[in-house]
Amino acid sequence: MTKGVVLLTGITGFLGSHIAEQLSLNYIVVGLVRNSSDLWRYEEIKNENIKLVNSGDKDYKKQLESFAPQHLVHCAWSGVAADGRDCWPSQVENISFTFDLLQLAKELVIKQFIGLGSQAEYGFFSGSIDETSPCKPLSAYGAAKLATLNIVESYCSQNNMAWYWLRIFPMYGTREGITWFIPSVIKNALGNSGMDLTGCEQQYGYLYVKQFAKAIEKIVGSEPVPGVYNVAAKGSIRLRDVIELIIKKTNTTGRFNFGALPYRKNQVMHMEGNSDKFTNTFNVSLDSEFETGIDELIKYYNTKLN
């Protein structure tokens, strides 16, 4: 018997697909999709507890009403890749979409809103950062996330809806887009093609996506004080060490040329999130074994690419 119904946006994305997979163990998950949605991630996870509703259907609101969701997890966001993070029209559309979603949540009498923010709301920083740090976003993406947070807080407070805004930091795991950092390294290693790289001295805290999905489940249905929470891995790992681990695990003959590329302007060299507030409030662990996660990823992409 399931615990309730969760309405989920972004089910066809990297994070959303893992959240759906985890929540479907104990909840009915209603994924909101569009006519243009690519369903390949959904095809990997679909089961009887995951239902899809197409927002392009004329009666999609009635379909949602029939499920009577009590919780909303909002993962959908366009312009997440590097080439879209300073596309202002696209980022502003995300704000409008979230507002429309909040109005829909009110109509459906949803009592809990969980939204995904980003470390980009903080802007440039080096080291470990917590929720008390000032937000000075440097990208349209970060600015749009921060503006959305303000709308979510005000709207939910006025409409008796508990809200939780999760500022997420780097993550990795299966079903991530192949052009993202770790999957692209694995692809080139498996193909023995190698790649040109920066010096890769950056230190990032990489959280395994399955740990993140389990953490989301701890929030659903809980009733702590609403607010902003960092969700990040404990500690960090140097990118060069990530690559060298993948090289070792794959026995690749490809050449990985460290220092062949320059660092980006305003490159963050040390990025960690302090998640103490989150782990203490929701009594959840974000610990995971990085090497075990890489093993699973190599196996996944080895199967997918062959």
**pLDDT score for 55:** 96
User: What tokens were used for 208?
Assistant: 């395994």
**pLDDT of the residue at 2:** 85
**Tokens 């946006």 correspond to what residue?**
9
pLDDT score of 265:
82
Residue bearing tokens 């990823």: 297
Query: Looking at the predicted structure, is the pLDDT value of residue 268 above 90?
Result: no
Give CATH superfamily name and number for 5-172+207-233+272-289: NAD(P)-binding Rossmann-like Domain (3.40.50.720)
Q: Let me know: does 208 contact 285? Beta carbons within 8 Å.
A: no
What stretches of the chain show up as alpha helix (H) in DSSP? 14-23, 40-45, 60-67, 88-107, 140-158, 181-190, 209-219, 239-250, 276-282, 290-304
Nearest alpha carbon to residue 206 among 177, 182, 224: 182
CB-count burial class (<10 Å; 0-12, 13-18, 19+) for 179: exposed
Evaluate if residue 305 carries a pLDDT over 90.
no
Residue 157's DSSP bridge partners are none
Give dist(CA 68, CA 109) in Å, integer. 8
Task: Report whether 90 contacts 142 (CB < 8 A).
Answer: no
Question: Which residue carries 């062959």 as its tokens?
Answer: 306
Q: Which amino acid is at 159?
A: N
Which of the following CATH numbers is that of domain 181-203+236-270+293-304: 3.90.25, 2.30.110, 3.40.390, 3.30.450? 3.90.25
Q: Report whether 114 contacts 166 (CB < 8 A).
A: yes
Q: In angstroms, rounded to a whole number, what is the distance separating the alpha carbons of residues 98 and 165?
A: 13
Edge to edge, the sheet with strand 270-273 lists 127-129, 270-273, 203-204, 237-238
Can you give the pLDDT at residue 97? 97
16-65 pLDDT per residue, tens:
999 999 999 999 999 999 999 999 999 999 999 999 999 999 999 999 99
The whole-angstrom separation of Cα 44 and Cα 187 is 20
pLDDT tens-place string over residues 129-157: 999 999 999 999 999 999 999 999 999 99
Q: What percent of the chain has pLDDT over 90?
A: 93
Q: Where in the chain is the domain with CATH 3.90.25?
A: 181-203+236-270+293-304
Q: Is 173 left (phi over 0), alpha (psi -120 to 50) or beta?
A: left
* pLDDT reading at 219 higher than 90: yes
In one-letter notation, the amino acid at residue 14 is: F
- With 90 as the cut, is the pLDDT of residue 288 above it? no
130, exposed or middle or buried, with CB in 10 Å at 0-12, 13-18, 19+?
middle
Q: Tell whether pTM > 0.85.
A: yes
Q: What are the start and end residues of each CATH 3.40.50.720 domain in the chain?
A: 5-172+207-233+272-289
